[in-house]
Structure formats: C-alpha cells, structure tokens
Amino acid sequence: MNLPNADRAIVDESKVVDYLLSARHPDGRAKSAFFSAFGFRAQRWRTFARALRAHEGSGEVAGMSESGYGTRYSVDGVIETPDGRNPRIRTVWIIDSERGAPRLVTAHPLRRPHASET
C-alpha cells in the first residue's frame, strides 16, 4: 500500500532545518548526523524535502494508526541522497481529516536486521 494523497505531501522547512538537520535539536541531532553523512545540508533543505517526498511516493506503508490528530502512516524504503549511497529509512506522515494531505512528522534510519532475523 502506498501513502494516500502522496502527490500532495507537505514537508515544512522548519521540520527539515530546525529538526531533522539540526545538530542542536535534542531529539533531532542523531538524525542530523545520519542525514548529513549522506550529503544533506540545511542550506539546501529543499533537496532533502524533495527526497523525502519521493521516498513516501515510492516506499511502502509499514504501519498506520489513528490518533486524535489524524491517521499516522509509517513508510519504509530507500531515500535518494546527494552522495548516492541511498540508505533505507522510515518516514512518518500524518493526514488530518481537514487537510487530507500527508504532512511529514519525522524521518529516521531503519536498522539493519540481524542475520537471525532474515
């Protein structure tokens, strides 16, 4: 299953610059280190936003849950990066009942399965 309304996905500048690519954000700094290692930079946040939107359009929904804010979707897949190594990540999107467009909540690397899990 693909993310509903993926063609209308919203990735806010502040989510990228002040969180996912911020070395100073308490929750985002590990994510910043990961994504920066693949060539993403806050100064070129639109490049990362485009890659995140492309990821959610081509990745598979790994889970969904209802909350008071709307329906949350987790999408797993490969993200195209500036350095071309293209790791697997999970993005989390929320679709509220009023807007209908998916809005990025977070993104993080997917851990590699252990040999015993394959």
pLDDT tens sequence across 45-65: 999 999 999 998 788 999 999
Cβ proximity of 102 and 56 under 8 Å:
yes
| Position 117 pLDDT exceeds 50 | no
Phi, psi for 71 (deg, rounded to 5): -100, 125
pLDDT band at 68 (very low <50, low <70, confident <90, very high): confident
| Position 23 pLDDT exceeds 80 | yes
At residue 114, the pLDDT reads: 46
At residue 112, the pLDDT reads: 67
At residue 58, the pLDDT reads: 83
What amino acid is encoded at 50 in this protein? R
| Position 1 pLDDT exceeds 90 | no
Cβ proximity of 102 and 49 under 8 Å:
no
| Position 116 pLDDT exceeds 70 | no
